[in-house]
Chain A
Amino acid sequence: MTHILQVEDLNVTFALHQSEVHAVRNLDLVLDAGEILAVVGESGSGKSQAFLAIMGLLARNGRATGRALLGDVDLIGMAPGRLDTYRGRDIAMIFQDPMTSLNPSLRVKTQLAEVLVKHQGFEPDQAVRSAIAMLERVGIPEPAKRANAYPHELSGGMRQRVMIAMALLCQPKILIADEPTTALDVTVQAQMLDLFRSLTRDFGTALVMITHDLGVVAGIADRMMVMYGGRCVERGPVEPLFYAPRHPYTLGLLHSTPHVEERARRLSPIEGLPPSLEHLPPGCSFNPRCAFRFDRCVHERPPLAPIAGNRAKACHYEGPLELKDQVA
């Protein structure tokens, strides 16, 4: 089976005054039709920048190299004009804060219809009708009425639904969602995750869910990819990664996350702070915070190597991963 997206050796750098920051390093990934891939990491892990690079949305001082193959078309380095024929139509992205992504001075229907007029050559009337149908599909009550509203007249949850509707209008093959539920209340978040699940099922859209919330990952994703210091450190199907992580950072994240159904075992946080991308430690970037570190980790960077079960990890340590000092 061919992958709908294949990313090879993606690197993202940002030019600063005197120096350069390497935000994403040597990233490879593939995405298949209809699957949900979660990309997990903390601030500065490069999880958002990798996908902004694929969408051609890096800040002006940013530069991407490598390949991102959408079918046989490479999106990296493509001129913006040409990129626009793919963005929105084949691959779409939504963000945490819908208010900054919607035009505040245009009615919802105007913004939505524009997408269809531009990409699919719809007549304006037909485009508005399709836009209203999509608003209904994403669970907006009274869609014809809401379509006349301006973004500020809608609640946060409604705006996020409008964003999703807009992203799905052309039925893209790939939807990239960057922390799409982080700003929402939990009851609304649950509605959104439900919506994402049914949309990927009904439209066959592949979803990339960028998030820091392992609870969201557990509930929705098929596969996950954990990023640290600009690199992928572990990836594979969700269940094995949760129940038997093979990278100490994945293990650390799991043990740092409080669980609503369990009362207070003491959390086992990861010691220390995330690295600055300008001064990544030599060897494995995670080594200063790692409880399983040994000599080799300080000198030699572990490559991301395949392991059994369709997984991969970037870690020298081969022993069992169990945290010491676990208080029951």
Chain B
Amino acid sequence: MTNHVSADLLRIEDLKKTFTVSAGLFARPLTLTALQDITFSVKRGETLGIVGESGCGKSTLGRCILQLLSPDEGRVLWLGQDLTQLPGEEMRKARRELQIIFQDPLASLNPRMTVGEIIADPLRTLMPELGRDERRARVLRMMEAVGLLPEMINRYPHEFSGGQAQRIGIARALITEPKLIVCDEPVSALDVSIQAQILNLLSDLKDTFGLTLIFISHNLSVVRHVSDRILVLYLGRIVELAPGDAIYTDAKHPYTKALLTAVPIPDPIRARQRNIDALVGEIPSPINPPSGCTFRTRCRHARPICAEQRPILETLPDDRLVACHRWREIEEGVGREAALTA
């Protein structure tokens, strides 16, 4: 490793990703900008939550980090090394250190392979130097770590429930002893009681193996539960990044605030006391996003400037990021109201 003094394990700089969308047989294809101006760092040992609604680009971002999708522009710096520029063999080495867990556990497991073969598969491709016995020993160790019984090693995925299948997916991700795991909606397809088991398992494994996690989810309650810091995306751009506690007690961006008040809370008295700052309308199309601030069409604080200029992503003193023209004014306004009512 070069003389890297920062605690950043991963740094994303000016990442952009577009997709081409067919508009019909004879029409000119359209460009969908899935991600733009994405810059942030992931610190060693933290869990960074990425939240946003459908189409905000959160899964695309996870895949761009792992080079499962190639970004159009920008850099993905892994320990200072730009993954987008790595030749194949070097990238293979890096892949041992970067793994992913998917949402639909059964769909992400090959139905024709046994549990043992599935978990060993990354070793076969990424660490071919390991012998058969060593591979098997590692698989058994990992099965134990994720709570699978050794006798399950020769069974097939269809014999497992969703929660157990997700344990298999986790074991597969961990088998190469990675440093960073991207968890893409890892509990969204699971029942509530099983979801809690998997969340606890991930937190235990993080401690045991010293992992850094990127946790992508649409479920803010889940993200709050696991994350040290939270990144909020809207229509392919970062709107806010802040420590988990700060984002819930002191969100700066109007979208973050609205998102938080919309989350159902399992407490009837609190749920009915809350003032829901309901957003009007729905997310605009990413093919033809609004000018200026992309959130302005749903923002009750929007002013002409929001349509004219895109807000820059501002770095606040405590390393927080926020992209809003008016967050200071809004905050002062709230302070004034509070002073008046007091």
Contacts and interface: CB of A to CB of B under 8 A. Distances in A.
Interface string B226-265: 1000000000000000001100100000000011111111
B196 A269 contact: yes
Contacts of B131: none
Interface in B49-69: 53-54
Interface in A158-198: 158, 185-191, 193-194
Q: Which of B266, B269, B279 has its CB near the most chain A CB atoms (within 10 A)?
A: B266
Nearest to A254: B266
B282 A157 contact: yes
Contacts of A43: 191
Interface string A241-255: 011000000001111
Query: Secondary structure at chain B's binding surface: helix, strand, loop or mixed?
Result: helix
B278 interface: yes
B225 interface: yes
Contacts of B281: 141
B199 interface: yes
A289 B269 CA distance: 29
Report, as a range, how many residues of chain A touch the other chain: 35 or more
A215 B225 contact: no
B191 A267 contact: no
Interface in B20-77: 53-54
A78 interface: no
B86 interface: no
B222 interface: yes
B266 A214 contact: yes
A190 B262 contact: yes
Bin chain B's interface residue count: 35 or more
Contacts of B161: 273-274
Given A212-B191, A219-B264, A187 B221 contact: no
B221 A190 contact: no
Nearest to B260: A260
B25 to A, nearest CB: 17
A269 B220 contact: no
A274 B244 CA distance: 32
Contacts, number: 146
Contact of B196 (A185, A191, A256): A256
Contacts of A193: 264
Interface string A32-51: 00000000001100000000
B194 A273 contact: yes
A273 B166 CA distance: 13
A193 B271 CA distance: 12
B158 to A, nearest CB: 14
A40 B258 CA distance: 27
A260 B193 contact: no
A256 B266 CA distance: 11
B191 A187 contact: no
Given A191-B278, A263-B245, A216 B225 contact: no
Contacts of B225: 258-259, 263-264, 267
A302 B282 CA distance: 47
Interface of B: 53-54, 161, 163-164, 191-197, 199-200, 203, 218-222, 224-226, 244-245, 248, 258-272, 276, 278-283, 298
22 contacts: A42-B193, A155-B282, A187-B258, A187-B282, A194-B276, A219-B264, A219-B268, A238-B268, A256-B195, A257-B266, A258-B222, A260-B220, A260-B248, A260-B265, A261-B267, A263-B224, A267-B225, A269-B193, A271-B197, A273-B163, A273-B194, A274-B191
Interface of A: 42-43, 141, 155-158, 185-191, 193-194, 212-219, 238-239, 242-243, 252-261, 263-264, 266-271, 273-274
A-B interface, 3 closest residue pairs, ranked by CB to CB distance from nearest: A215-B264, A269-B196, A256-B196
